[in-house]
Amino acid sequence: MFSGFVGEYSSLWIAAGSGVLGLLFVWMTSKMVMKNDPGGQQVRTISRKIQKGAMTFLKREYTWILVFVLTLAVIIFFAIAKATAVAFIIGAGCSILAGYIGMKVATLANGRTAKAASGSISKALGVAFQGGAVMGISVVGLGLLGLSLVYIVLINLGLKEMLFLASLKNATSLIIGFSMGASSVALFGRVGGGIYTKAADVGADLVGKVEAGIPEDDPRNPAVIADNVGDNVGDVAGMGADLYESYVGAIISAMVIAVAAENTEGVMLAFLIAGWGIIASIIGVFFVKAGKAHPQKALRNGLISSSVALLLGTFLLSKFWYPTFDPFWSVLVGLIAGIAVGYTAEYYTSGKKVRQIAEASKTGPATNIIAGMATGMLSTAIPLIAIAAAIVIAYGVSGVFGVSLAAIGMLSITGMTVAVDAYGPIADNAAGIAEMADMGQDVRERAEALDAVGNTTAAVGKGFAIGSAALTAMALFVAFAKTADISIIDILKPSVVAGMFIGGVVPFIFASATMNAVGKAAYRVVEEVRRQFKEITGLIEGDAEPDSERCVDITTRGALREMVLPGILAIAIPIVVGSLLGLTALGGFLAGSLISGVPLAIFLANSGGAWDNAKKWVEEGNLGGKNSDVHKATVIGDTVGDPFKDTSGPSLNILLKLMAVVSLVFAGAIGSIHFCLAGLF
Amino acid sequence: MFSGFVGEYSSLWIAAGSGVLGLLFVWMTSKMVMKNDPGGQQVRTISRKIQKGAMTFLKREYTWILVFVLTLAVIIFFAIAKATAVAFIIGAGCSILAGYIGMKVATLANGRTAKAASGSISKALGVAFQGGAVMGISVVGLGLLGLSLVYIVLINLGLKEMLFLASLKNATSLIIGFSMGASSVALFGRVGGGIYTKAADVGADLVGKVEAGIPEDDPRNPAVIADNVGDNVGDVAGMGADLYESYVGAIISAMVIAVAAENTEGVMLAFLIAGWGIIASIIGVFFVKAGKAHPQKALRNGLISSSVALLLGTFLLSKFWYPTFDPFWSVLVGLIAGIAVGYTAEYYTSGKKVRQIAEASKTGPATNIIAGMATGMLSTAIPLIAIAAAIVIAYGVSGVFGVSLAAIGMLSITGMTVAVDAYGPIADNAAGIAEMADMGQDVRERAEALDAVGNTTAAVGKGFAIGSAALTAMALFVAFAKTADISIIDILKPSVVAGMFIGGVVPFIFASATMNAVGKAAYRVVEEVRRQFKEITGLIEGDAEPDSERCVDITTRGALREMVLPGILAIAIPIVVGSLLGLTALGGFLAGSLISGVPLAIFLANSGGAWDNAKKWVEEGNLGGKNSDVHKATVIGDTVGDPFKDTSGPSLNILLKLMAVVSLVFAGAIGSIHFCLAGLF
């Protein structure tokens, strides 16, 4: 298709250009967010507190990440390759930067959204969504820009010594470090962030609502700011880092698979689709206009127009530039699978299903819990069938490369999906600020309406995050097999069976560890809040200020400390299994982790979401309404669901991708260790 | 080794002889149970009610099974082979007979145990354990006798037309129907029984304890008899059918695998080990003598001496008769894996772990639930590693045949493990009878001490059942691959990946369906108990008798109705998946179901056990004791755990084996359908 030297990788420059375009959009949108009225004194003070708390968390988290990344970089530098280590650092750096920008703007947008809500709901939606869009487009813009620039540099360095194809192969084998960097930040962002957000939530509720008997979001509660920070930490920075990881992982596995088949054009195609995806996402942003439409519909319009734009572009690419690959169908089935997983989540966490759980709560909390568990378990069927179908169809159309194309298809509109997700915590914060700053019934109601929409989109977003994690991990698994030069992984071989069984159990252990982590970190928050209520005179009476910063600090420390064990597990287990049982068994291990991990993640996320909404439905006045026995039962279900849906469930996304990336990056080293060990025994 | 015609299958006659020996032992032990004092009028009345209820349940269940088995037999008769249909019916018939004998004697032993407890705890232990031993040895005796006789007949029929090896191959391909029969009865016994037992339990508690405020096991409660029946239905008949299925499945998969390699001696070896296992189990029974020892220790002595006897026999077989196979090591690792899974269950459902869950209950039911879930999830690690290690080692020593030898090793002492399991509900019933018949503080305490021991052994037994189901399903999976002539199942192939993903999700759906089934069946019980309290005048005051029979009847109908959907799922899904995606993908599907299903089953069983014991620990007076807030929180956890540990968890054992057996039996038919479908599209 292309000819000549520059042309051979002009697609990379096009992708980089899309990235730059995305960042320009981010810059302009941030300016627009800033132009909105930041509200009165009280609103500004609270918003600043949340922002300060969020930045405190990020700073501390990034310090840990720095230590972690540098340590790992040194290992990669010596054990794998210098360039891989550099790609690793840049991959992590771009993720950190995207998270920082997104959090900064999101915490600037929350107070402004609350203020805008005193005007109209449509204006408030605009501000909140702009805030979210900054995060969304930052993720894809920085991801694609960083990835293409590093790739161009690596290819050029190679070209000094070798021909184009050889240089491309070389660059691809080195750039997988970029994906590992993305995974490292996602590990801290999603797992650490997930522990943080629930520890703060549980801690604030247990002492505030239950022990002291003060309402939710009451400014006297020292943990309330930490709780608000937590929303941003989990659903802005955490979700962003998660999808950044999926996005980068999907593109890189497409590169690895294409290059293994000496399919240069496939590599370029992956970059072109991703580049066009950024533009499609930006197009979608312009379609989010509430006007007279329901905010829910406005957000859905954005998603639909992004999807349509993406498909249109891919269709043209497919028809005119790459008819041999025919990427359209793979991208289509990937996108459909993603949407299917997302909307299945919505179905099982709303309407009839939620009412059934509420009905079951009439006989107490135990039947509430059982009904929620049964619902979550049932909700795994359609997503897994959708993913399985996408794999079979994509493979049928474009071979093994099609699987990675499907993942890219699902993830190309990441800019838009993250924007919709990040909108949620901004609206949530706005509702909290409206409550704390006493902005009046009207404003509170509008802000809460926006928040309610955010809860639904959060369910869809979580589903989408799981679906994309599954498909990305699958693509990374194939890329691992290509890199390790494995052509068959036969499950009739005992070592593969053993690998699969062990892989299947790791998600359960990881879920257990993260659940326990929330409990331990929450306990530290509880102790601190109790201490402040006891030691700060006049706090309960409203005459003294709580020490919110200290609460943020303690929650941060607790969360980061508790994530060390799960983090080490995720990185060490594949290396240990591969070293002991060999690379083929490691392939079985990765497959096993996906087979049990994906349904487990969906089950945890959707059970949690369903319990949450069952509680909300009762609070709307159904089955006795607030403070009835049914309500109490649903509150217990909701509390069980908190770590399910916000910590353990989403953490599994990271686990699955991270283990695949670690296997991919360390494949050579693991192979050598196994060879030595096999020689010893 | 052997020579001449008779010698070539004399091992089958030896195995049949062991079966006969086992049945003689059953007959003698039943006589001994009957010789015990059946107690006074009141004890006899209650015991008879339970027995009548149990028999009502069995009769109704067996009617359903009859319809089911005959329908399926007709299909097999025409679609597979006439002899397979006959083997299928006999396989089901022996299981039914074993369940009938076991239940009959267990329900005769409960009142006698209560009466014996008025003498001494050691005497009561003796009666209860003898009752359990009848069930245990019936299972293995009838299983092995039936299997070897059918096999001898099939071989002899074949010998009229072909040579010995050909006839053996032919007989083996036909006898897999026997395993399918075992699975069909297990499906009804374990799934239907599991739904029954928890529907009765929850129904009795919800109305009795919670609404009417009368104590547990109060004779005024119309559902109390159903509840007591449920203990027998679940842990005697259900557990027996489950292990009968594993036992038969393990032997048959060994036969299929050995015959595929034209390894005649391997077939005979499997029968010899199984035959010796019956004798080893009987030896173990004689070592269960309480005397001055703690009942717990007495039961453990039985298990240890059976294991030692089994290993000794296998060692001699290995050393002198079959040095080329060296079955000793495979049997040893299988046995060790079984014990490891069992004792891991004990570890995670007692002591420190249980205290941690109770501590977590201080902050309410939600943290109790989370702690129990986290414990159950963590408890999956060691069992899966043990199973994986057993597979690798057994394969290393004796090749693929070793995997089935390991399963046989684990299951050879089934007679003993079922005896210990079935002891539990007898002791439980005895405690209930002591309460209902008002036999005095002393007797109640002794009976309850026996019951407490039963709870621990139940945890071990459940673990053992899961472990053996996993290994049997694994062996059946290998046998399926041999039968379908599949030499490689490559997880890099998209259809295999799709099969695995779908297989991985089925256990979640099955668990969800069985949980919902309990809820629905329990609701019917609740309605009936409420009706009786309202309509029978003088019932609450103790002046009128409740209509217990009607309660048993309604629970039975409800349970059997609710198991239709899960049952159809288990049989239809593998046929559908195989027909659509092909036999290799069906192999992936079976592997996928094991990878997620085994940890899910362990998680459900151990979470449930841990919650149960946390509640009991608090009831012993810890952390505020009975009726404290902590106690209330643990009661909620226990109620959630009931369907986990007694319905959904154990049902997964059946699901995994049944899907493998269905694939094995219908392999040819599925292959043909897929061929036709593939031709159509």
Give B484-532 pLDDT, tens digit per residue: 999 999 999 999 999 999 999 999 999 999 999 998 888 888 889 889 9
Identify whether A583 is part of a domain. Answer: no
> Considering only CA atoms, which of B234, B246, B188 is closest in space to residue B464?
B246
If you ran DSSP here, which 8-state letter would residue A624 be given?
G
Q: How far apart are CA B513 and CA B566, in angstroms?
A: 6
Burial class (CB in 10 A: 0-12, 13-18, 19+), A218: middle
Element at B277 (helix H, strand E): helix B264-286
B414 to chain A nearest CA, in Å? 24
C-alpha atoms less than 13 angstroms from C-alpha of B292 in its C-beta half-sphere: 0
Q: Which of A481, A494, A503 is nearest residue B492 as measured by Cβ atoms?
A: A481
Q: Which of B363, B492, B508 is nearest residue A380 as measured by Cβ atoms?
A: B508
Give the pair of three-digit tokens for residue A672. Answer: 């050598």
Q: How far apart are CA A624 and CA A425, in angstroms?
A: 29
Distance of CA A556 to the CA centre of its chain: 19
Q: How far apart are CA B231 and CA B218, in angstroms?
A: 16
Q: How far apart are CA B147 and CA B139, in angstroms?
A: 12
Q: Which of A371, A374, A498 is nearest residue B392 as measured by Cβ atoms?
A: A498
**Residue from A257, A341, A377, A573 whose CB has the most chain B CBs within 10 Å, to mutate:** A377
| Beta strand extents in B593-653 (DSSP E only) | none
User: Which residue stretches of B234-380 are H helix?
Assistant: 239-260, 264-286, 295-316, 327-348, 351-360, 365-378
Closest residue of chain A to B401, computed from CA coordinates: A494
Residues in CB range of B622: below 8 A, 6 or more apart: B355, B358
* Residue pair A359/A618 in contact by the 8 Å Cβ criterion: no
A385 to chain B nearest CA, in Å? 6
A349 to chain B nearest CA, in Å? 16
Q: Which of B375, B490, B503 is nearest residue A488 as measured by Cβ atoms?
A: B490
State which amino acid sits at residue B38.
P
At residue B3, does pLDDT exceed 70? no
If you ran DSSP here, which 8-state letter would residue A163 be given?
-
The residue with tokens 């069980």 is A640
> Considering only CA atoms, which of B93, B479, B52 is closest in space to residue B256?
B479
Closest residue of chain A to B398, computed from CA coordinates: A494
Count the Cβ atoms, other than its own, within 10 Å of residue B212: 16
If you ran DSSP here, which 8-state letter would residue B358 be given?
H
- Cβ-Cβ contacts under 8 Å between A and B: the total is 223
* Residue pair B489/B587 in contact by the 8 Å Cβ criterion: yes
- Write the CA distances from B165 to A537, B156, B258, B327, integer angstroms: 91, 12, 12, 22
Q: Which of B377, B490, B509 is nearest residue A381 as measured by Cβ atoms?
A: B509
Q: How far apart are CA A611 and CA A669, in angstroms?
A: 45
Give percent above pLDDT 70 in chain A: 99
Residue A2's pLDDT is: 38
* Residue pair A279/A18 in contact by the 8 Å Cβ criterion: yes
* Residue pair B271/B12 in contact by the 8 Å Cβ criterion: yes
At residue B209, does pLDDT exceed 80? no
Q: How far apart are CA A62 and CA A193, in angstroms?
A: 12
Q: Which of B391, B491, B515 is nearest residue A494 as measured by Cβ atoms?
A: B391
Give the three-state DSSP class for B219: coil
Residue B7's pLDDT is: 57
Give the three-state DSSP class for B490: strand
Q: Which of A384, A488, A498 is nearest residue B391 as measured by Cβ atoms?
A: A498
Residue B1's pLDDT is: 37
**Residue from B329, B492, B629 whose CB has the most chain A CBs within 10 Å, to mutate:** B492
Q: How many residues does chain A have?
A: 681
Tally of domains within chain B: 1
Q: How far apart are CA A678 and CA B14, in angstroms?
A: 43
Facing residues of A375 across strands?
A: none
Count the Cβ atoms, other than its own, within 10 Å of residue A232: 29
Distance of CA A483 to the CA centre of its chain: 26
Q: What is the mean pLDDT of residues B543-568?
A: 87
- B-chain residues near A362 (CB < 8 A): none
> Considering only CA atoms, which of B465, B445, B453, B468 is closest in space to residue B350?
B453
Residue A7's pLDDT is: 57
pTM confidence score: 0.94
B186: left (phi over 0), alpha (psi -120 to 50) or beta: alpha
Element at B378 (helix H, strand E): helix B365-378
Residue A6's pLDDT is: 43
Residue B6's pLDDT is: 43
Helical packing angle, B649-665 and B667-680, nearest 10° = 70
If you ran DSSP here, which 8-state letter would residue A622 be given?
G
| Residue-wise pLDDT tens digits, B256-278 | 999 999 999 899 999 999 999 99
* Cα angle A94, A99, A105; round to 5: 125
The full DSSP string for A316-375 is HIIIII-TTT-HHHHHHHHHHHHHHHHHHHHHHTSHHHHHHHHHHGGG-HHHHHHHHHHH
Identify whether B427 is part of a domain. Answer: yes
* Residue pair A652/A601 in contact by the 8 Å Cβ criterion: yes
CB contact under 8 A, B596 and A591: no
- B-chain residues near A195 (CB < 8 A): none
Q: What is the mean pLDDT of residues B205-221?
A: 79
ipTM at complex level: 0.94
Facing residues of A490 across strands?
A: B490
User: Which residue stretches of A412-490 are H helix?
Assistant: 414-436, 441-483
* Residue pair A258/A169 in contact by the 8 Å Cβ criterion: no
Give the pair of three-digit tokens for residue A140. Answer: 């894809």
Q: How far apart are CA B222 and CA A484, in angstroms?
A: 65
CB contact under 8 A, B488 and A489: no
Identify whether B511 is part of a domain. Answer: no
CB contact under 8 A, A370 and B640: yes
Burial class (CB in 10 A: 0-12, 13-18, 19+), B564: middle
Q: What is the mean pLDDT of residues B372-399?
A: 95
How far the first Cα of chain A sits from its last, in Å, is 53
* Cα angle A202, A204, A209; round to 5: 100
Q: How far apart are CA A249 and CA A241, in angstroms?
A: 12
B507 to chain A nearest CA, in Å? 9
What does the mean pLDDT of chain B come to?
91
Q: How far apart are CA A353 and CA A359, in angstroms?
A: 10
Identify whether B556 is part of a domain. Answer: no
Closest residue of chain B to A363, computed from CA coordinates: B206
C-alpha atoms less than 13 angstroms from C-alpha of B571 in its C-beta half-sphere: 17
- B-chain residues near A489 (CB < 8 A): 490-492
Residue A621's pLDDT is: 93
Domain hosting residue B460, numbered range: 5-482
At residue B8, does pLDDT exceed 80? no
CB contact under 8 A, B488 and A487: no
Identify whether A276 is part of a domain. Answer: yes
- A-chain residues near B365 (CB < 8 A): 365, 636
Instruction: Report, as ranges of residue numbers, the positions in chain A whose pLDDT lies below 50.
Output: 1-6
The residue with tokens 């999603």 is A190
The residue with tokens 């319009």 is A301
Q: How far apart are CA B20 and CA A666, in angstroms?
A: 59
Identify whether A412 is part of a domain. Answer: yes
Q: What is the mean pLDDT of residues B644-651?
A: 93
* Residue pair A92/A84 in contact by the 8 Å Cβ criterion: no
A415 to chain B nearest CA, in Å? 28
- A-chain residues near B488 (CB < 8 A): 488, 490, 492
At residue B212, does pLDDT exceed 90? no
Give the three-state DSSP class for A490: strand
CB contact under 8 A, B591 and A497: yes
Q: How far apart are CA A652 and CA A599, in angstroms?
A: 10
- Write the CA distances from B449 to B113, B296, B427, B431, B622, integer angstroms: 12, 10, 9, 9, 18
Burial class (CB in 10 A: 0-12, 13-18, 19+), B141: buried
Identify whether B667 is part of a domain. Answer: no
